[in-house]
Every structure is written in C-alpha cells, then in structure tokens.
Amino acid sequence: MKKYISTFVFALLLSSIADAQIIKTSLTVTVRDELGNTVEGVTVQLYENEEGYKTEKNPAAEGLTDKKGVVKFKDKKAISYFVLARKGDKDNAGGGEQTGKLEEKKFNKVTIVIQ
C-alpha cells in the first residue's frame, strides 16, 4: 500500500512541475524581401485590432529582426494579430498584414514580405 501511495505522490509532483513549465503562446516572424531574401533590421509591430494597425497606435508588441530576418514575440494572446513590418521605404502594406489565430501554448510562425 505504501508503494502505491508514494507512486501516486510522485506522479502528482511530476504533474505540478509540468504545469509550472507550460509553454507560452509565442510568435516568430520572418521577414523577406520581394526576392525571398531575409531582411535584417526590420521594425515589426503587432496590433490586436485593425484600428490600431491603421493608425499605427498602441502596438501590442514591437521588435527588430536579427541577422536571419527573424524576430520572436513571447507570451502572446492566442488571437489573430495585425502585423506592420517596415524598413526604410519598404513595408508589407497591401498583403500579408494579418496572422491567423495563434495556437495557444504553441510556437507559431509567419513569414512577412516587404516591398
């Protein structure tokens, strides 16, 4: 009987440790140019609604792409985001401005093209 109780307690302990290490909803954005090359130094902003996107006010998150053209956003809501990516006179206006709904507790990925 003691063996079963200690096994049960151990299983509960493992379960609570796993709950404490839950994966957060994240979004990785890769930015490419019209030729398909990744672009470093692009400012990427996420907006929770279209109004914020159109007025460019109150972004939910902002980041800069690295040498591989990638920016990562951690601990995001599992919603669809409007994305504004801009470097100099190039941006993603006119296409690819909204993500699909992010999957909760997953590593979500999108590619944005600037031109």
Q: Where are the domains of the chain?
A: 23-113
What is the CATH number that goes with domain 23-113? 2.60.40.10
| pLDDT one digit per residue (tens) for the chain, 115 residues | 555 555 555 555 555 554 445 789 999 999 999 999 999 999 999 999 999 999 999 999 999 999 999 999 999 999 999 999 999 999 998 777 899 999 999 999 999 999 9
CA distance 46 to 37: 22
Angle, alpha carbons 92-98-102 (nearest 5°) = 135
